[in-house]
Chain A
Amino acid sequence: MSEWWGYRLSDFLLFSPRAYWRLLELHNEALWPLPLLTLAAGLLAGGLALLRPKAASRVIPLLLAVLWAWVAWSFFWNRYATINWAAIYVAPIFALQAMLLFVLGGPRQVDPDGRGWWRAIVVTLLAVALLYPLLAPLSGRPWSQAEIFGMAPDPTATGTLALLLLTRARWCVLLFPIPVLWCLASGITLGAMDASLAWVPPFAALAACALAIAQPRKAARPRV
C-alpha cells in the first residue's frame, strides 16, 4: 500500500491498553494455578543454572522448549490472536524457538571462575524475568494482570536470554534472535500503548546482547 510513511506507530495498534491488560488477566485467571507452576519451572531452571548439577544441561533447554511451545499455543494462538491478528504469525515463530531450544539448547560445561561481575548481571537479568509480575503494581495495574514467566511472552523471552547466558549455551547465535526480536517488538507495542515500563523488554534484550558479547572467553573446551 502506498503512503505508508503517513502512518504513526499508534496507527498500527488495534486494541486499547485496557483490552490488552484484561487479556492477560483472563489468561492468568483461566489457567490458574498454572502460572504458579510455570513460575516454579523458571525458579527451578534458575537454580539448576546456578548450581549446575549434571542434569542441568538437558533439563534447562527442555523446560524452556516446553514453555516456549506453551506460550506459542496458549498465549499467541488462543488468546492474543483474538485482539491482534498479527499474533497468528508470531505463534509459529515462538514454536520455532521451542524447537531450536529442544534441538540446540544444551549448555557447555564451562569453568565458572573469573567472571563474577558478568555472572552477577546475568543473574540480575534472570531475577528481572522471574520478578516480572511486580511490574504490574509498579505501573498501576492490579496483580491479576501480572505478566508471568512461562505464561506471558516478555518475561519468558527475558528469562530465556538470561538462562542461555548463564548456561553458556551452544548456538547462542541461533537461540538469541527470536527472544531478542520479540523483546524489541514488544517494547514498540507497549510504547504505542503509552505503557510506563515499555522500555523494560528492549532494555533487557539489549543488555542480554551486550552480555553475550562481553562474555568471558576463558572458557575451557566443552566436554562432550
Chain B
Amino acid sequence: MDFRQPTRRAVLAGGAALAASAVASPVSAQAPQVLMRPIPSSGETIPATGLGTWITFNVGNDPVLRDECAAVMAAFFEAGGRMIDSSPMYGSSQPVIGYGLEKLGSPPVFSAEKVWTSWGSNGPEQMEQSRRYWGVPHFDLMQVHNLLAWQDHLKTLYAMKEAGQVRYVGITTSEGRRHDLFEEVMRKERLDFVQITYNIVDREVEERLLPLARDRGIAVIVNRPFQQGDLTRRLEGEELPEWASEIGASSWAQFILKFILSHPAVTVAIPATTRVDHVRENVAAASGPLPDEAMRQRMAAYIEQL
C-alpha cells in the first residue's frame, strides 16, 4: 500500500458529502481531532493546517538541522497534518523534505509543489527533479509559482493531470503581487487550487480573490499566515485577550490561524516553522471552535488597536 496517497482513500471514504468544516479521524490515536476541508473540485478532504518550507527547511546538508526538520515533520503528521508545500526556489528544502519522508517511513503526505522557471520547456525536467528530491511517486498538487510563465506551465500541468502524473493544478502569488492577472487566470483557467497571502492584517484578498475562489470552486491555500514571522514577533509582547479562549485559541499563532481558517473560502493555511512546539500549536489551531463573523470582526478590531 502506498502511504503517500492516503488522500485517495479519503476521497472514497469521505467523498463530497463531507461538509466544509467536517471533522475527520486523526492519523494517530493520540492526535486531536483535526478540522478537515474539502477540495471543491474533487470532494476529497484534507486537514486545514499544512506546513510551509520556505527558509525553515533550507538547511543544506547539515545533519543536525535536517534532523530538526524531520522532527517538525514527525510532529506535524502525528498531530494530523498532511499538506507540505515547497518549491524549487526554496534552496535545499525539497531534498530536506525527502530526507524527512524517508526517515519517517513514508508518512501520509499531501505533496504541494511548484514549477518555477521562466521557460515552459524546462518545466517537466524541473518537476521531475523535484519529484526525485521528495522521493514520491507523483505530486498531489503542482502550482505555477508566482505565475511565472503560467500559460506554458498550465498547458503542461493539464496534460500531466490528464495522464495521472499530478492530481491537482494550481497557481500561487504572495503579498498582494499581480492580483489583477491572478484574478484573470482564476476566471479563465480550470484550477483546482490557488495559493495567496491572507492573515488578520493583510486582508485585501477578502475583496475579490476569496469570493471568486468560492464561486469558481477553487481550493485556497493561505501562505504567509504570520507575515513570515513579523506578525507573531510583533504580538509577542502583547497579552492575548481573555475572550480568545471562547474560540479555543491559547496563543497569538492560534488566534491568527483561527481567524484565517474561519473564512469560508479558505481550505488550508500553511505556516512554516523550525519548532516542534510551534507545529503542534499550529495544527491544533485547526481543531475546536472557529470564530463566527461577529467574532472575526472583534478579532480584527482588537489587532488593529494594538
Tell me the dominant secondary structure on chain A's binding face: loop
User: B122: shortest Cβ distance to chain A, in Å?
Assistant: 14
Contacts of B27 in A (CB 8 A): none
Among B64, B92, B176, B274, the residue within 8 A (CB) of A82 is B92
State which of A14-22, A56-64, A165-173 sits at the interface with chain B: A14-22
Mark contacts of A83-105 with chain B using CB atoms, 8 A cut-off: 1 yes-contact digit, 0 otherwise: 11100000000000000000000
Top 10 A-B pairs, shortest CB-CB distance: A82-B60, A83-B60, A15-B58, A19-B59, A14-B91, A83-B91, A83-B58, A22-B62, A3-B177, A82-B61
A26–B55 CA distance with the chains assembled, in angstroms = 19
Contacts of A6 in B (CB 8 A): 175-177
Contacts of A22 in B (CB 8 A): 59, 62, 64-65
Mark contacts of A8-30 with chain B using CB atoms, 8 A cut-off: 1 yes-contact digit, 0 otherwise: 00100111101100110010000
Interface residues of B in 224-278 (CB under 8 A from A): 228, 274
Q: Is the CB of A14 within 8 A of B178?
A: no
Interface membership of B146, Cβ < 8 A: yes
Interface membership of A55, Cβ < 8 A: no
Q: Is the CB of B148 within 8 A of A15?
A: no
Interface residue range, chain B: 20 to 34
Q: Is the CB of A15 within 8 A of B177?
A: no
Interface membership of B89, Cβ < 8 A: yes
Interface membership of B302, Cβ < 8 A: no
Contacts of B91 in A (CB 8 A): 14-15, 82-85
| Given A15-B91, A23-B60, A85-B91, 5 more pairs with CB closer than 8 A | A6-B175, A6-B177, A14-B91, A22-B62, A79-B60
Q: Is the CB of A19 within 8 A of B58?
A: yes
User: A20: shortest Cβ distance to chain B, in Å?
Assistant: 10
Interface membership of A2, Cβ < 8 A: yes
A82–B91 CA distance with the chains assembled, in angstroms = 7
A22–B176 CA distance with the chains assembled, in angstroms = 33
20 contacts between A and B (CB under 8 A): A2-B178, A3-B177, A10-B228, A13-B55, A14-B55, A14-B58, A14-B89, A14-B90, A15-B59, A15-B60, A16-B55, A16-B58, A16-B274, A18-B274, A19-B59, A19-B65, A22-B62, A23-B62, A82-B61, A84-B91
A85–B228 CA distance with the chains assembled, in angstroms = 21
Among A10, A13, A83, A85, the residue within 8 A (CB) of B59 is A83
Interface membership of A1, Cβ < 8 A: yes
A13–B58 CA distance with the chains assembled, in angstroms = 11
Q: Is the CB of B148 within 8 A of A1?
A: yes
